Structure 1
Amino acid sequence: MSVMRFYYDPFSEFDRLFDDAFSFALLALHRVDVHEDAENNTVTASFELPGLKPEEVNIDVSHDRLTVSGETSTSQQRDERGFTVRERSWGKFTRTLMLPQGTKPEEVKAKMEHGLLNVTFPKAQPMQEPKRIAIHSE
């Protein structure tokens, strides 16, 4: 029978706890900024999607709602103290924004560059003032 030495560093678990906590927060939270362009009468929603390719992102328009969804996955491999450590993570995300009433899907345009997805759609038309109709009598 051979004797094996077993080394356990409890503090390495704290490192892993913090690494996992912060990496999940960055993976799960995809920021979105909304900007209005008064000159062109449009609104642009900018989604930060680092590391994703356009074919990994879906954009759906239905019932005056814009939904951006996708799936992220990462894989890391490193050598530590003679061991190979492989870690994989994955997750799905979805963000939904309300569109102005009556927005047609063909009016929504999307462009993605360097992990930044810009979705542009027309701004809501201002409500028309009520118009009084004259009543004519015979």
Structure 2
Amino acid sequence: MDLHEDSEKNIVTATFEFPGVKKEDVSIDVHNGRMTVSAESKISEEHDHDGYAVRERRFGKMSRTLQLPQGVTEDQIKASMSDGLLTITFPKANAESGPKRVTIL
């Protein structure tokens, strides 16, 4: 995973590499201020050459959990996937999450 922070745009970009994984096999779950990205790889190949049969199988699960900045909601998270590269962007901090002044009555 690569994590990049753009202070000018107030955006964090997380990039994950999932070679050979379809986007249908990737899930992004947000719960209690945490985002979990998980993927499952199921690759099976068969080759027949000069009477030899070769079967290769690769299976695996990957998962990574990130603590989101306070105040980030699910609708602020954007994700796209192309050629095994998953890119997720979300705001670095919500304007409402700054300090608040309490009026004394």
Which residue of the other structure, out of 95, 115, 135, is the alignment partner of 2:84? 115
Map 1:12-23 onto structure 2 (within 5 A). none
Work out the CA distance in 2 between the residues paired with 1:105 and 1:132: 28
Q: CA deviation at 1:58?
A: 0.5
Q: 1:132 to 1:95 in 2, by over 3 A?
A: closer
Q: Which has the higher strand share?
A: 2
Task: Point out where structure 1 has 5 or more consecutive residues left out of the alignment.
Answer: 1-31
Q: Which has the higher helix share?
A: 1
Work out the CA distance in 1 between the residues paired with 2:76 and 2:103: 33
Work out the CA distance in 1 between the residues paired with 2:101 and 2:28: 39
Work out the CA distance in 2 between the residues paired with 1:111 and 1:132: 40
One-letter amino acid of the counterpart of residue 28, structure 2 = I
Matched, 1:64 2:44: no
Matched residues, number: 103
Are the aligned partners of 2:20 and 2:43 in contact in 1 as well (CA < 8 Å)?
Answer: no
Q: 1:81 to 1:41 in 2, by over 3 A?
A: same
Q: TM-score, normalised by structure 2?
A: 0.81
Q: Alignment identity in percent? A: 50
Higher RCO (C-alpha under 8 Å, 6+ residues apart): 2
One-letter amino acid of the counterpart of residue 59, structure 1 = I
Q: 1:58 to 1:132 in 2, by over 3 A?
A: closer
One-letter amino acid of the counterpart of residue 64, structure 1 = G
Which residue of the other structure, out of 65, 72, 89, is the alignment partner of 1:96? 65
Are the aligned partners of 2:18 and 2:84 in contact in 1 as well (CA < 8 Å)?
Answer: yes
Q: Which has the larger radius of gyration?
A: 1
Q: CA deviation at 1:38?
A: 1.3
**Deviation string for 1:42-71 (max 9, x for gaps)?**
100001111122211101111111111121
CA-based RMSD: 2.5
